[in-house]
Structure 1
Amino acid sequence: MNRVIRPQFLILFLLISFSCKTNRDSTPQNINKFREDHPQFSSKFETRLKGIFKEKELFGDFIFAVVDENGLAYSFAFNREILNGKESSLDNNSPIYIASGTKSFTGTLLKILEQKKILELNKSLHDYLPQLNYNDSIDTENITIKSLLNHTHGTFSTSMTWKTAFLGYSGKNEELINDLNTDFLLDPSGKFRYSNVGPIIAGMVVENVTGKTWKSEMKDYIFTPLKMENTSANVSDYKLRDIRPSLTVSNEKGVIEKGFYKNDITMHAAGGIISTVNDLSKWLSTNIGEGTVLLNKNSWSELHTSTTSQDREYFTYHRSGYSLGWDVAEYQNEKILTRFGGLAGISFHMSFMPEKKVGVIAFSNDNRAYLLPHLMADYAYNLINTLPADSIFRSEKPKFDKSFERENEIAYPKDSQILTASNDNDKIAGAYQNAENWPAISIDKKDDYYIFNWGILKGKIYKNEENGYFSNLGVLTRDFEITNDTLLTGSLIYKKAKE
């Protein structure tokens, strides 16, 4: 629609237009208020970030937002294209994978179901998922739903974890329950032990109790009420090219791998949400303001208060507790609730300071810069809280520099190491099966090289120095050996299927 803009309204129009473009769902008043309250924030923050991009010659994207109880207050999207004055599709509506940020959603969903008297968090696995019995070696009456959410249940399963996070499986809970019943470890101490296992089992509990999947209930009870219209637990709801990918980068070779290594089957209750800054600002704002659209005041209190203790340091945060989905920590003498996540090059930061009523969302996807979202979140908090932000930044940046250099110097396989096609090498091609129900492996010849397929992952095959093979599968590198018709990878034994 064409409009005539009077000169005296030009500046106001540009400000409002920029705000609306930044976040179509936010109120320009809130963004303008933050700008008025913190007039130096944008120039200082953006100058710092641009400086890091230039200094480290970063690839990939960086997306950042400040959120308060009224919604999005500030946002900034940046990448190498924008730095060089080129067009970029990156903005607040770009789909990003939030990885373990999902756990805060899952904890909230279970709390909503408790408030609706559909289940009780203090009841046990025996009550809600009796088919999970750990081969009668663990008394599941002692494992509460709450302990699943706060990582004190003590159980672990390698096969279930790998299938749900990386490789894929049949899609049926029965397969995962069988893995848990037959391949498990137990720490009976009741101490905090972080993993994906608890929230994933909690997702199974949701399905067993309600008859609907965790993904469906997440949409009905959280995404739809908060009008998070661009958020989903299914990769298939997006065009793959639109999802900001993982980038594996090295000093020597630049971008080595680029891709998004999830599909619907590996989107789970511990790490299975794709969203946007615009949508996530609604989620974070609801947590900050403890909005009654989702929960009452008492329910929010348990979600934001430690339900178990921990004593850990991560970057600049001292973690003292864990609620039902958030790490409870301290930064610069302020209580801060954090939920971070990562996959390959993706690094996601979501946090808020309850007393200050302010929070941060940050995302990057250059694997060397996995601490960048945390470094810039700290800088933002210190600017907002009128602390000596530049001085603190200079004291924190060496941790980022050290991690960056370590990642930047990793040696990746050279093209000369690719296993080239030959009559002799053709012998390894074929399908391989595992007797313990791990996903199948196949080796396929393509042009003049070979592809290693393991579940949903795949990558070129390289020859290693030990006379074996390896493949970079995007999210992991896997070594393997083949002798006659037996493929050995780690402790897993695969047999070649007869043609």
Structure 2
Amino acid sequence: MHYYLLPLTYFLILTLSISISVNATNITDKIDNQISKIRTQLNINSAIAIAVIDNEKIIYQRTTGYADIEHNILANDETLFYIASITKPLFAQFILQILEKSQYSLDTTLAQMFPEIKFHSEIKANKVTIKHLLSHTSGLQDNFLTNALSITGIHNKQLTKSMLSKLYSNTEKPLGQFQYTNLGYNIVSLWYENTFNIPWQTAIKHHLLTPLKMTHTTALRSEAKQQKLQIAKPYSYFSLEPTKALYLEKQDNTLHAAGGLLSSIEDMARFVNQQLTPSAIPNLKNNTKLSHKSLANVNSKRGDFERTTYGLGWYKGQYKKQVTMHHFGSFDGFRPHLSFMPNKGIGIVILNNEGMFNDKVTDVIADYIYGILLEEDDIEQTSLQRIAALSTMAKSYREKFITKEQSYHNRPLDLTKPINQYTGTYHHAMAGNVIINYQQEHFTVTWGNLHATATAYKETDVLRIKLRPSHGQLIRFIEYNSGISALTLDGITFKKR
């Protein structure tokens, strides 16, 4: 052995170690400064949680802002955020674990999944498979199931089976063609529960979350509350009261398989790391790689990210000239981001509790962080320009948004009947009850977990509501024999009782 080389070896190791440490510190400082600029220039008070993974290490993890603005409660790295559709890659990987250990496979058909249900012949239940359902290529549509599981919370085992029997074909995007929807994941979750007699929320914890040591992730809000975990409240930057939390929060009955997990930045960083290094957990290795495999052509774009194919819970496309896997989420008060570059070994998670402005802000943050990691020369200047453009856009959009909302509030109701003709309970066998009351000179509307105060609209016998704070909807009343007999909402006709 050449002992004279030992000092040189130690020197090189020490130099490399110092270099890595300095580089990590430099990146941390840059991201901290950039987030500070974004917060200041865009006047963002809600929480932003960021994790950056590079070469199997979490090189940056920071949570800033408020989980609860009204009560000045700061978020932290253990705060739970609703991750919306980023649930899909986790649910898909969980199902792959189940299939591997059972008599079922990705080729199990809809007819085999639910032999007791008589499906419409047009949907080809003997050809639609679990693979189609999880890759958004099933060619199926529905009017009730996805809304019940994700929004209203009006469902039970018997009702969901009835909803399944009402599935119909998507003539524009038939079997084999990509059409993004929550439906396929919802169907697979119902099949799992019906077949194995275990709630998917319980099973995913055992088969996936626990092996990944994701201790601050749950599909049950009640579990998070029982464990006294902090859950970020939802906000909207463009609402009339941007510092007031939105009323609509996901409950146990609306946390569904296509968008049903609450998670922390620490846990999501672990999940991304596992995607980048599948062999780290041998029991998950094969199914992790399988979930990345492209199954459907997409050819679309979301923000800065190109989407050319979709696998089992993952989009794939070019971003900054690199192959990038990603999935984002979107719901009132939340706009999470998860992406990674498998060939570079780097990835990013961004969680937040504001759902409208963050659609743009997350793109700017991701652009800057990836720009640093890929050593782009002009990233500092480019990012400053994007922040300035966002600031201008936000001010203009907010003014227009407020003016439009106030115009609805100021408009007088245009109704042809006495008030009591419109109030009451309206029923649909699948969709449940819509209840309309009149209190303090305003109509209030309740539908399952949802409720809203109605405003006027420009048409006669039509009310405008926002059961979802970020979505305007119309209620159209139907007259029969000189009285109000029904209403339509979201394309469904509810008959007055």
State whether TM-score is above 0.5. Answer: yes
- Closer/same/farther in 2, CA of residues 297 and 364 from structure 1, 3 Å limit: closer
For residues 114 and 491 of structure 1, the distance between their equivalents in structure 2, rounded to whole angstroms, comes to 37
1:168 aligns with 2:153: yes
Closer/same/farther in 2, CA of residues 220 and 82 from structure 1, 3 Å limit: closer
Distance 2:412 2:50 in 1: 39
Query: Which residue is 2:474 aligned to?
Result: 479
**Matching residue's letter, 1:432:** Y
Equivalent position amino acid for 1:170 in 2: H
Q: Tell me the secondary structure at the aligned position of residue 120 of structure 2.
A: helix
C-alpha deviation, 1:236, in angstroms: 1.7
Which residue of the partner structure matches residue 432 of structure 1?
426
Q: Aligned equivalents of 2:19 and 2:339: distance in 1?
A: 21
Question: Cα RMSD over matched residues?
Answer: 3.1
Q: Which residue of 2 aligns with 1:287?
A: 275
Who is 2:180 aligned against? 194
- Residue 452 of structure 1 aligns to a residue in which SS? strand
Match of 2:459 in 1: 466
State the match for 2:4 in structure 1. none
- Residue 3 of structure 2 corresponds to none
Q: Report the equivalent of 1:56.
A: 42
**CA–CA separation in structure 2 for the residues paired with 1:296 and 1:251:** 42
Aligned counterpart, 1:457: 450
Partner amino acid, structure 2, of 1:125: L
| Deviation (angstroms), 1:291 | 4.0
- Kindly state the Cα deviation for residue 41 of structure 1 after the two structures are TM-superposed: 1.6
Distance in 2 separating the partners of 1:33 and 1:104: 35
Q: What does residue 19 of structure 1 align with?
A: none
Name the counterpart of 1:213.
Answer: 199
Q: Distance in 2 between matches of 1:274 and 1:132?
A: 32
1:93 and 2:78 aligned: yes
Contact 1:234 1:263 in 2 (8 A): yes
Q: What pairs up with 1:218-229 in 2 under 5 angstroms?
A: 218-229=204-215
Match of 1:322 among 310, 315, 318: 310
CA distance in 2: counterparts of 1:35 and 1:425, whole angstroms: 70
Deviations 1:155-181 (A, max 9, x none): 111321221221122232x42332232
Which of 10, 23, 29 matches 1:43?
29
Deviation, 1:394, is: 5.0
User: Following the alignment from structure 1 to structure 2, what is the Cα–Cα distance between the partners of residues 117 and 81?
Assistant: 41
2:218 partner SS: coil
The CA distance in 1 between the partners of 2:289 and 2:46, in whole Å, is 37
Aligned-residue offset at 1:268: 0.9
Matched residue, 1:110: 95
Q: How does 1:34-433 map to 2 (within 5 A)?
A: 36-68=22-54, 70=56, 72-79=58-65, 88-172=73-157, 174-186=158-170, 187-239=173-225, 242-250=230-238, 254-255=242-243, 258-291=246-279, 293=281, 295-366=283-354, 367-388=356-377, 389-393=379-383, 404=394, 407-408=397-398, 409-410=400-401, 411-413=404-406, 416=410, 424-433=418-427
- Contact 2:185-2:257 within 8 A present in 1 as well: yes
Partner of 2:8: none
Query: 1:418: how far off?
Result: 8.7
Give distance in 1, aligned partners of 2:359 and 2:397. 9
Identity of aligned residues (%): 21
Paired position in structure 2 for 1:495:
495
8 Å Cα contact 2:474-2:489 kept in structure 1: yes
- One-letter code of the match for 2:123? I
Work out whether residues 149 and 155 of structure 2, in 8 Å CA contact, stay in contact via their aligned partners in 1: no
Greater shift after overlay, 232-241 or 324-333?
232-241
Q: Distance in 1 between matches of 2:465 and 2:278?
A: 46
In structure 2, relative to structure 1, the CA distance for the partners of 1:258 and 1:143 (3 Å cut) is same
Paired residue secondary structure (1:295): helix
2:77 is paired with a residue whose SS is coil
Give the Å deviation of 1:349. Answer: 0.3
Aligned residues: 460
Q: Which amino acid aligns with 1:479?
A: L
Q: Which runs of 5+ in 2 are unaligned?
A: 1-17
TM-score (ref. length: structure 2): 0.83
Give TM-score, length-normalised by structure 1: 0.83
